[in-house]
Amino acid sequence: MKFDMHFHSTLSDGRNTPNEILENIWDSWLSLVALTDHDTISGDEFVSEVKQSGIHSNPAVEISAMDYELWKSLHLTCYAQQFEQEVYDILNNTVAKKREMILAQVSKLAHNWFIIDGEELYDYFEKGGRDINTLNKFNIAEYLFQNLENEKIIPTLVWENFSLEGFYLNFLKEGGKYYEKYGERIDEYEPSIEVCWAMAQVNNAILAIAHPQFSFSRFWIHTFQDDILPRYVDAWINAIEVHSKTPKSWLNAIYEAKKKYNLILTAGSDNHWLWHSDSKHTLLWEINPYLSEEQQEEILREYMRFLER
């Protein structure tokens, strides 16, 4: 009864190729999988090869979206039998705008004394097998920290030392301590939650709020339940994810929301590297430990009913 509806490959920010993931799927006796790369719909070839092994699958994607009322970026996982060309066009625009943002961010860091070059950054990741159109700001931090001189520069600028993750959170992530001076964004490169639902509706799709405990960590759970989630339901988002790292308090809130709004539940590991787990991601096929076998069966059955529509 193992399944995973949220994981990544080298087509976005994963560490394993789709072929490596396929081999792991075949060896793991899974029931269902959905590859959800960032702003990149899992290809027909991947889905077809999975199905040939008797494992259920379908096209899927993790969409970079924007809540313009909260002015907050978030991720929505979307699942369909197939996607219309309009969806590909919107996602391609997101990828193009993201590349603009990466180059603007690199330029701003270089202007503020960091040793960084856009073409060298792209070359570094391309040689590592990454699709350079899917790079994100954390990848910029990874690249910076390949050069020890950049680590030495940080305390001369802000009188503090930072780890790679700390640098990303404080310098490059919106809301970070030093974001206003060192961070950069491109306005409106992410589609709104309303646009995302319009895409999902046309494609008869499931559209789920991914890893809500991370996306809305700065809010109280009851604020998410009472103030934020109702707007999302009004925007016709019809599902929410039980992430492998969702704590018990959030899991209870998710089940209350499911009952109140008749939401579909999805479940996934958010895996980026087959043999690695960390504070926000688990191993491929790892299910939330608070889910009972009955709850897992219910999630799987509900999703399978969607696939059979």
Q: What tokens does 151 get? A: 């680590």
Closest CA to 100 of 127, 118, 120: 118
Give the model confidence (pLDDT) of 118-140 as tens digits.
999 999 988 877 778 778 899 99
Any idea where the domains of the chain sit in the sequence?
2-83+203-307, 93-182
Q: Give the pLDDT mean for 195-212.
A: 95
Give whichever of 24-28, 92-96, 233-237, 263-267 has the largest mean pLDDT.
263-267
Q: Is the pLDDT of residue 116 over 80?
A: yes
Give the model confidence (pLDDT) of 20-33 as tens digits.
999 999 988 899 99
Letter string b/e over residues 269-294, b meaning 16 or more CB atoms within 10 A of that residue's CB:
bbbbebeebeeebbbbbbbbeebeee
Give the model confidence (pLDDT) of 138-158 as tens digits.
999 999 999 999 999 999 999
Per-residue pLDDT band for 9 (boundaries 50, 70, 90) equals very high
Q: What is the mean pLDDT of the chain?
A: 93
Architecture of the domain spanning 2-83+203-307 = Alpha-Beta Barrel (3.20)
Question: Is 0.85 topped by the overall pTM?
Answer: yes
Decide if 286 contacts 263 (C-beta within 8 A).
Answer: no
Sign of the dihedral defined by the CA atoms of residues 247, 281, 34, 97, in that order:
positive
Q: How far apart, in whole angstroms, are the C-alpha atoms of residue 19 and residue 15?
A: 12
β strands within the chain, DSSP E? 2-4, 30-33, 36-37, 40-41, 56-57, 60-67, 72-79, 206-209, 239-243, 264-268
**DSSP state letters, 77-117:** EEE-S---HHHHHHHHHHHHHHHHHHHHHHHHHHHTT----
Coil, strand or helix at 282: coil
Query: By percentage, how much of the chain surpasses pLDDT 70?
Result: 100
Decide if 70 contacts 228 (C-beta within 8 A).
Answer: yes
Per-residue pLDDT band for 309 (boundaries 50, 70, 90) equals confident
